[in-house]
Amino acid sequence: MPNNKYRATYLPQADSDLSGILNYFLNDLQNPIAADNFMDELDGKVTLLENQPFMGSLYKLNHKFDFEYRQIFVGNFTVFYVVINNLIEIHRIIYSKRNMKKLIYPKGHKTSV
């Protein structure tokens, strides 16, 4: 079996999402243990992705993207990513109860759902 090593990278919006999540845990909740636990779980899932990039389920929308959006779950958060060649681009990390369509669709795109 070929050894296709994938490498994960966080896009700027995902970095911003992650900063917001950690800020919430540390400053709003004042719970550094929750922040550490979240980062440990996220790091573990990203390591799994680098070995099994297609393990996340496809995220279906009524909009055609250039690449297939996939999702994995880390605690109460959804991590959206795409696989391009040997690169895993992490696009967003969003609290799972938020309106995903509003956050994932390109700006200015009108949805019918």
- What pLDDT, on the 0 to 100 scale, is given for residue 60? 75
Other C-beta atoms closer than 10 Å to the C-beta of 2 total 4
Does pLDDT of 100 surpass 60? yes
Give the whole-angstrom CA distance, residue 64 versus residue 50: 25
What is the pTM for the complete model shown?
A: 0.81
- For the chain, domain boundaries: 7-104
- The pLDDT tens digits for 32-70 are 999 999 999 999 999 999 999 999 998 876 556 677 889
Does pLDDT of 12 surpass 80? yes
CATH superfamily entry for domain 7-104: RelE-like (3.30.2310.20)
- What pLDDT, on the 0 to 100 scale, is given for residue 35? 97
Give the whole-angstrom CA distance, residue 80 versus residue 5: 20
